[in-house]
Amino acid sequence: MASLAVPKPPARTRGRSTGGGVGPIGIGVASLWLSLIVLLPLAAVFAKSLEGGPGELWDAISAPSARYALLLTVAISALVALINVVTGTLIAWVLVRDDFRGKALVNAIIDLPFALPTIVASIVLLSLYGPRSPVGIHLYATKPAVILALAFVTLPFVVRSVQPVLMEVDREAEQAAASLGASGWTTFRRIILPALYPALLGGAGLAFARAVGEFGSVVLIGGGIPRDTEVASQYIAKQIETDRPASAAAVSVALLLISFAVLFALRFVTKRKDGR
Amino acid sequence: MKIALRTAALTYLGVLVLVPLAMIFYRTFEDGFVAFFESVTTPAAISAISLSLLIVAIVVPLNVVFGLVTALALARGNFPGKGLLQAVVDLPFAVSPVIVGVALILFWGNDGWMGGAIPVIFSLPGMVLATVFVTLPFVVREVEPVLREIGTEQEEAASTLGATRWQTFWRITLPAIRVGVAYGVVLTVARSLGEFGALTVVAGGVAGESQTLTLLVHARYIDDHNTFGAYSASTVLMGLALLTLVLMTVLERRREA
């Protein structure tokens, strides 16, 4: 899933100055396509949210259950990103530095949450941690259930961003540190971790952005109890169901701005790193 | 230390992914294969599977054609607003599926900007538009880097030798990018089959009419309290996801070769 990474800047620009492979018609078609499918519908959300003026927009976002849903979403997504930083680094480490039977299978499992439909993720977790739990763990409609669902769908991000960097890390510096008497933990903290920072930040940022908008995996196991386990996307869906499009648009805009801010910051960070 | 780390990593994966997956398989097949088969061949299930496949059959060609045009424009063109176009291609990754549904209702709906020009709510066009939205980046993002990598020398040589634009595209460009296109298509198919959030908002999920496989899973679990039915339908989706993973691995190998 290389496509989920922040795209690299163009390696080289060649060919004719304008037009290129598809000519002006192609550029026109592409622009029209992207506008009709993506840009204009999103613009309609922003326009709808501002229809009643900024006062109404603010009222819709700061309504008690809307505000609670937004804050819960951000808090839980941040926590999930943090969990991923720890577990993702651990899994990447084991996949790169350790060797055991079935490692290839474990490596393949990492991508499963990307391939699995989100609603299936919800059902899968419910079968083990839901009302009929065979292990006696009942998480249905609790905050830990939401965290579990989000950790499931965001599993690949940090692993897949850290793994390639870990493969490239200079083993000689590590061996030098070890021969000078540094413990394994010190070597990891002083030599390896600094090299991993950009990848960790990138992976955690993508995981956060994904968690903020997540719906399908949370919808069944989270229960969607207002002011308890209802995340922002569930709140928005409910506003549409109860025919309150203006309120849905307002909370959508708030949620969009949060993910845009994170992804923009990420792009800025990765660009600076590339430019060094 | 090594063993401890390995155990910790495998325990996390087991608790989060493997054991729950195994549990679904167990629950699906505990009453035998026949019960599973009957549950996924009820009229509602058949119609849901057909609708999911129909959406895939419409979305894939749309995304391939427009994705190729967009990738070519972005990789080869040099025009004002290109940076903006680049950003718009990545937008669907940053938008919650539920917001996609809201956006489509506000843009295409009866009270929307297009004033109901296309009947999108509770209908096939709406489900297709929603699915196209969420899968739009895949083909573009898989093909564009390949286009940059292969450069334009061969294409220029072909056109110097008198090939038309179409001939150059079919004989030179397309064969060079076919693995990238295939990878983009696999991702598009997987995401199309699995889309749920945008469809719940747009489609409503009327059984036998606007209910896809994912909406069927949800309806069986929540509305019908048919847990077994939800598990069986999930198993079908899981089988498709596994197939996707296998195809991705195969294509990844071919790309590296």
Model-level pTM?
0.90
> What's residue A272's pLDDT?
63
Instruction: For A96, name the nearest residue in chain B, comparing CA atoms only.
Output: B6
**Does residue A12 surpass a pLDDT of 80?**
no
- The domain tally of chain A equals 1
pLDDT at A191: 87
**Is A17 contained in some domain?**
no
The token pair at B224 is 């019908």
Question: Each residue of A192-242: pLDDT tens digit?
Answer: 899 999 999 999 999 999 999 999 999 999 989 999 999 999 999 999 989
SS3 at position A276: coil
| Nearest of A270, A2, A24, A15 to residue B147 by alpha carbon | A15
The residue length of chain A stands at 276
Domain contains A193: yes
What confidence score (pLDDT) does residue B205 get? 62
Question: Which range marks the domain in which residue A130 is found?
Answer: 52-275
> Which range scores top for mean pLDDT: A204-208, B109-113, B201-205?
A204-208
Which strand (E) or helix (H) includes residue B166?
A: helix B165-168
In the predicted model, is pLDDT for residue A13 greater than 60?
no
Chain B residue with Cα closest to A218:
B197
C-alpha distance from B33 to closest chain A C-alpha (Å): 19
Cα–Cα distance between A59 and A66 in angstroms, integer? 10
**Residue numbers in B near A248 (CB within 8 A):** 102
Q: Is the pLDDT of residue B206 over 90?
A: no
Q: Is the pLDDT of residue A9 over 70?
A: no
Arithmetic mean of pLDDT over chain B: 91
Are A259 and B103 a contacting pair at CB < 8 A?
no
- Put simply, the answer to whether A240 touches B101 (Cβ < 8 Å) is yes
Instruction: Tell me which chain A residues have a C-beta less than 8 angstroms from the C-beta of B90.
Output: 7, 263
Provide, as residue numbers in chain A, all residues whose Cβ is less than 8 Å from the Cβ of B93.
Answer: 4, 209
Q: Nearest CA of chain B to the CA of A155: how many Å? A: 9
CATH number at residue A131: 1.10.3720.10
Contacts of B143 in chain A (CB under 8 A): none
Give the Cα separation of B144 and B191 in Å (integer). 20
Task: Report chain A residues whose CB lies below 8 A from the CB of B8.
Answer: 90
- Among B77, B113, B195, the residue with its CB nearest the CB of A27 is B77
- Between helix B213-222 and helix B174-194 the angle, nearest 10°, is 20
Among A19-23, A140-144, A169-173, B96-100, the minimum mean pLDDT is found in A19-23
- Whole-angstrom CA distances from A116 to A92, A112, A123, A271, B187 are 21, 6, 11, 31, 11
Question: CA quadruple A39, A41, A45, A46: dihedral positive or negative?
Answer: positive
Q: What is the DSSP letter of B31?
A: T
Contact A108 B249 (CB under 8 A): yes
When pLDDT is cut at 50, 70 and 90, the band that residue A4 belongs to is very low
Q: A214 contacts in B (CB within 8 Å)?
A: 96
Q: In this predicted model, what pLDDT tens digit does every residue of A167-188 receive, in sequence order? A: 988 888 888 888 898 888 888 8
CB contact under 8 A, A249 and B93: no
Inside any domain, residue A56: yes
Residue keyed to tokens 């286009």: B147
The ipTM, to two decimals, is 0.91
pLDDT of residue B139: 96
pLDDT one-digit tens code per residue, B60-95 = 999 999 999 999 999 988 889 898 999 999 899 889
Mapping DSSP onto H, E and C, the string for B3-24 reads: HHHHHHHHHHHHHHHHHHHHHH
In-domain check, residue A34: no
Classify residue A133: in a domain, yes or no: yes
* Whole-angstrom distance, CA of residue A119 vs CA of residue A153: 11
Q: Do B103 and A3 touch (CB under 8 A)?
A: no
User: CB distance B77–A20 less than 8 Å?
Assistant: yes
A85, pLDDT greater than 80:
yes
Query: Which chain B residue shows the shortest CA-CA distance from A145?
Result: B16
Please give the pLDDT value at position A274.
54
What residue ranges define each of the domains in chain B, with the CATH number in brackets? Answer: 1-30 (no CATH), 43-256 (1.10.3720.10)
For residues B178 and A9, the model is more confident at B178
CB contact under 8 A, A45 and B99: yes
